[in-house]
Amino acid sequence: MTRTFFKSCLVVVGLLAVQAPTSPGEQIEFPCYRNDPRVAVLREFFEALNSPASPLAEDFLYAADRHGLDWRLLPSIAILESGAGREYANNNIFGWDSCRTGFDSVRAGIHYVASRLAGSNLYKDKDLDEKLALYNPNSEYPSRVKWLMERLEARLQSATVPPQPARDYSSILTPKKSPAKMMSESTTTARISITRSLVVFWLLTSAFI
């Protein structure tokens, strides 16, 4: 049942991706991702960077899930290469092929780059560090991409971890009493009670004398 639903969902999303408007400012709705916390995290991350790619958050997720990529990889590359769509050419926000390759739309570029990172002979079966070293020869590039990926993961964790119930510190703040001290306090209380009773009795008897 779950597998059938997922396949149907992929078909629907695939059709949406093909038939969707090409403007990066336009947004399409992905039924499979309505309750996915990654959508809100990715949108907020882009918005914090003043990136116009925020409406394409579902495209980033669908492209990654479809091709078996880490969902954080494509956004992190896009942020480093173009500020996630703030400065780019040829609808190429990934700097793919040194920006020589152009795409019909930013959305098309997302799906194309995802397919190449996952399935091309150059990148296929490579781990993350190997993919990034091939993508950009700068020795610091992999660490920068992974730093952004860690930030995304941290945001996801903070968004999905339920708030912890308040702890009761009363037993810690209130010192425990020893049996001897408790006995002493009990004796003192009893003496005070007896004294009060005698005073009340004296007042009552005085009133009737």
User: Whole-angstrom Cα distance, residue 195 to residue 54?
Assistant: 78
Share of the chain above pLDDT 90, in %: 58
What is the domain class of 7-160 according to CATH? mainly alpha
Domain ranges across the chain: 7-160
What does the pLDDT look like over 135-152, one tens digit per residue?
999 999 999 999 999 999
Computed over its alpha carbons, how large is the radius of gyration of the chain?
33
Burial label for 86, CB within 10 Å (0-12, 13-18, 19+), is middle
Residues 20 and 107 sit within 8 Å (Cβ to Cβ): yes
- Which one-letter amino acid corresponds to residue 183? M
Task: Tell me the sheet residues that pair with 112.
Answer: none
pTM score of the predicted model: 0.66
What does the pLDDT look like over 85-112, one tens digit per residue?
999 999 999 999 999 999 999 999 999 9
Task: Tell me the sheet residues that pair with 89.
Answer: 92
**Per-residue pLDDT for the chain (209 aa), expressed as one digit of tens each?**
434 433 444 434 443 333 333 344 445 455 678 789 999 999 999 999 999 999 999 999 999 999 999 999 999 999 999 999 999 999 999 999 999 999 999 999 999 999 999 999 999 999 999 999 999 999 999 999 999 999 999 999 998 766 556 555 455 445 555 555 555 555 555 455 555 554 444 444 444 44
